Amino acid sequence: MALIPPFFIDCVVAIGTQNEKGEKQWIGTGFLVGKHNKDITGQEKRYHTFLITNKHVIADVKSIIVRFNPKGNEPAKDYTIDLTNKASLSIAEHPTPEIDVVAIYINPSVLNRDQARFAFFKLDEHALYLSDMKEQSVSEGDFVYVLGFPMGIVAPDRQYVIIRSGVIARLRDVVDQKSREFLIDANVFPGNSGGPVILKPEFVKIDKTSSHKNASLIGIITSYVTYRDVAISQQTNQPRVIFEENSGLAVVVPADFIRETVEEAFKDLVKKASQQKSKP
């Protein structure tokens, strides 16, 4: 029995950079989401597709590589996104500087043409927002999965997502609107940044709470929480070396802010489309 829908895995991509020698370095994780838009008849659901990752993953780089597996057995294909091409690139950061989310419009027709294997989280169906989490009694101790590419572990010719499990460690401060982030107890490392966090479906519940019948996107990894370990000199009894260690806690930005960032990117997409139409 699969607890994560297989297509969730196809939503996740490795993000990398390439130096002048053509050498690739995998620096983070991203995932695709779809923003729902009705067609003119109002009968059919249509989606615009966006790549989601952290602001800090793409900061200070001029371009990124996004890797997709093919539907067949061929090697994966890497697509370059020129972040300096502001004229044609529809991209938006969350307007609040402290919220570490960025959205980039992706044209799925290119991926379909190349027979790429991909999917996206539908923001109106597959995401769970804070109001939903409160209504469904999501709380500390509930199980989650983290999907991504820790430590840049990406195969030479394919990408295979690494999935790790954890639990929600602190959530009430976000539900009470005292914080914009919540904590999970899960081992994440450099390379996990920008990866999705999935709430595990649960059919067992205690009295006066709800069960979680579906796996749902609840947020995006931004970092792990560090602690400082100090080495003391036995001779002087003074600190000599300070180590910064991974505490095992990770910071997650809720899905609400992913949706808000996508809305900003969609506005930019509509604006650029309008400008193109107005050109003679």
DSSP code for 125: T
Secondary structure element (H or E) that encloses residue 24, with its range? strand 24-38
> What's the pLDDT at 152?
92
Distances (CA, A) of 169 to 138, 181, 198: 11, 12, 14
- Report the SS3 class of residue 202: strand
152 within 8 A of 25, measured Cβ to Cβ = yes
> What's the pLDDT at 236?
78
- The partner residues of 46 in beta bridges, in order of sequence, read 37
> What's the pLDDT at 210?
67
> What's the pLDDT at 248?
92
- Report the SS3 class of residue 162: strand
DSSP code for 150: G
- Domain assignment present for residue 64? The answer is yes
CA neighbor of 163 nearest in space, from 198, 212, 130: 198
Instruction: Quote the tokens at residue 89.
Output: 């690139």
Could you tell me the residue range of the domain that residue 136 belongs to? 6-278
> What's the pLDDT at 207?
59
- Domain assignment present for residue 1? The answer is no
52 within 8 A of 220, measured Cβ to Cβ = yes
- The Cα–Cα gap between 123 and 108 comes to 16
> What's the pLDDT at 132?
93
Residue 18: CB atoms within 10 A of its CB come to 15
- Domain assignment present for residue 89? The answer is yes
Q: Where residue 205 sits, what CATH number does that domain have? A: 2.40.10.120
> What's the pLDDT at 244?
78
CA neighbor of 47 nearest in space, from 128, 110, 117, 125: 125
For the chain, what is the domain count?
1
Residue ranges of the chain with pLDDT lower than 50? 40
> What's the pLDDT at 217?
98
- Domain assignment present for residue 20? The answer is yes
What are the φ and ψ backbone dihedral angles of 33, each rounded to 5 degrees? -130, 155
10 within 8 A of 121, measured Cβ to Cβ = no
> What's the pLDDT at 237?
76
Look up residue 114 and give its amino acid. D
> What's the pLDDT at 85?
87
242 within 8 A of 226, measured Cβ to Cβ = no
- The Cα–Cα gap between 128 and 220 comes to 12
The C-alpha angle 154, 158, 159, rounded to 5 degrees, equals 50
